[in-house]
Structure 1
Amino acid sequence: MAKTKPGKKDLDSYTIKGTNKVVRPGDCVLMRPSDSDKPPYVARVEKLEADHRNNVKVRVRWYYRPEESIGGRRQFHGVKELFLSDHYDMQSAHTIEGKCIVHSFKNYTKLDNVGTEDYFCRFEYKAATGGFTPDRVAVYCKCEMPYNPDDLMVQCEGCKDWFHPSCMGMTIEEAKKLDQFLCSDCSSDDDAKRPLNSFPVSPSGDAKGVYPKRGIFKGGAETQKAMTDQLTGERRIGVP
């Protein structure tokens, strides 16, 4: 009588090959692409399992970079921005290069120093359709774009809205030297001569009233049209 092949077993952790870094379900990791010219893929570990030969597999949920999405990279996307996708995969744990941290958007904006391991995510992404959740976000400045945490912005002391220096005809250096700032609309108001305080730079999640929703940006509507039948793209992982 043939013996039953031993089954798979779930693991609580895995030590990245050649390091002392331990990966557990829920951690975010960097995974080696097959093309060495490309940056590592970023994924969230959902599950670790070993087969009867002790080969370790990892079930991951992929993060997409903006340029990997159907709509492509936009002006407001941050350098370290990622989208949490609905694209899952099973991969060899040996393709894990290292660990990283994917912060919430709010927590990322509070970082004093952004390290190479720091990323942020504010959207979930449907890989097959190009849709985003949420599909609308607050916009700022007269250019009416969502906030890019990599870009310096100045706050108007009148309306409390935020503006890009370039949109107001200033350089970043000029903006940093200002003691106060009024946008063109507020500077023409009768009460514009009231005493002004020094201004903060760039929206802060803890400050009150600094996220005036003057409009909305639809995050994926224009890209979803005629894309609903597109299949999720395969990710080619590099073998160590």
Structure 2
Amino acid sequence: MAKTRTNRRTLDSYTVKSINKTVRAGDCVLMRASESSKPSYVARVEKIESDNRGGNVRVHVRWYYRPEESIGGRRQFHGSKELFMSDHRDIQSADTIEGKCTVHTFKSYTKLDAVGNEDFFCRFDYNSSTGAFNPDRVAVL
């Protein structure tokens, strides 16, 4: 028997009940890793959608990679809070969102008075299949 496709609708926002935070497209979020020993994954929400019943909410995300998750690995010049915006996109259950975070430009990150646990910075785009970076070099301060 053919499986009927559930109609999906795009949502402007979604409140994650476990953390009591509202998430919108464009927000950066921390997502639960499959292994509890790993740190939360960081992603940017691109779209939020729900089935007609509203019980199954999914988020379309674009993943940030940590240096150690990249093909070249962590290098001496990578900051401890540095992430790379990847071309890797995915669809996840909204229930895997553990919190919201902020991914700053490097310039705005260096101007923060205090860096919190949810503050990160990004200065590279990363191609997850080739390991290439854009730009391929930056000034190291």
TM range, smaller chain: over 0.9
Runs of 4+ more than 3 Å apart: none
Matches within 5 A, 1:136-175: 136-138=137-139, 146-147=140-141
CA contact (8 A) 2:81 2:119 kept: yes
Q: Higher relative contact order by CA 8 Å / sep ≥ 6: 1 or 2?
A: 2
Q: TM-score by structure 2 length?
A: 0.93
The reply on whether 1:80 has 2:81 as its aligned counterpart is yes
- More helix per residue: 1
Size of the alignment, in residue pairs? 137
Q: Is the 8 A contact 2:19 2:98 kept in 1?
A: no
Give RMSD over aligned pairs.
Answer: 1.2
Which residue of 2 is the match for residue 25 of structure 1?
Answer: 25
Deviation by residue 1:141-173 (Cα, 9 ceiling, x = unmatched): xxxxx23xxxxxxxxxxxxxxxxxxxxxxxxxx
Deviation, structure 1 residue 19: 2.6
Structure 1 counterpart of 2:91, one-letter code: M
In structure 1, distance between residues paired with 2:29 and 2:99:
6
Say whether the 8 Å CA contact 2:30–2:101 is kept in structure 1: yes
Q: Could you state the TM-score of these two structures normalised by the residue count of structure 1? A: 0.56
**Equivalent runs, 1:123-142 vs 2, <5 Å:** 123-138=124-139
More strand by share: 2
Which one-letter code corresponds to 1:52 in the other structure?
A: N
In structure 2, how many angstroms separate the alpha carbons of the residues matched to 1:93 and 1:71?
31
Distance in 2, matches of 1:19 and 1:97, equals 7
Could you tell me which runs of 5 or more consecutive residues in structure 2 were left unpaired when the two chains were aligned: none
Find the counterpart in structure 2 of residue 61 from structure 1: 62
Distance change (3 Å), C-alpha of 1:5 and 1:67: closer
Return the alpha-carbon distance in structure 2 between the equivalents of residues 5 and 89 of structure 1: 19
Structure 1 residue 52: Cα displacement: 2.5
SS of residue matched to 1:107: helix
- Which amino acid in the other structure matches residue 21 of structure 1? K
What aligned pairs does 1:36-115 form with structure 2 within 5 A after superposition?
36-54=36-54, 55-115=56-116
Distance apart, 1:111 and its partner CA: 0.6
SS at match of 1:62: strand
- Is 1:11 matched with 2:11? yes
Over alpha carbons, which structure has the higher Rg? 1
SS in 2 for 1:46: strand
Q: How far apart are 1:6 and its partner, in Å?
A: 5.0
Distance (whole Å) between structure 2 residues aligned to residue 76 and residue 5 of structure 1: 48
In 1, Cα distance between equivalents of 2:96 and 2:19: 13
AA aligned opposite 1:80: K
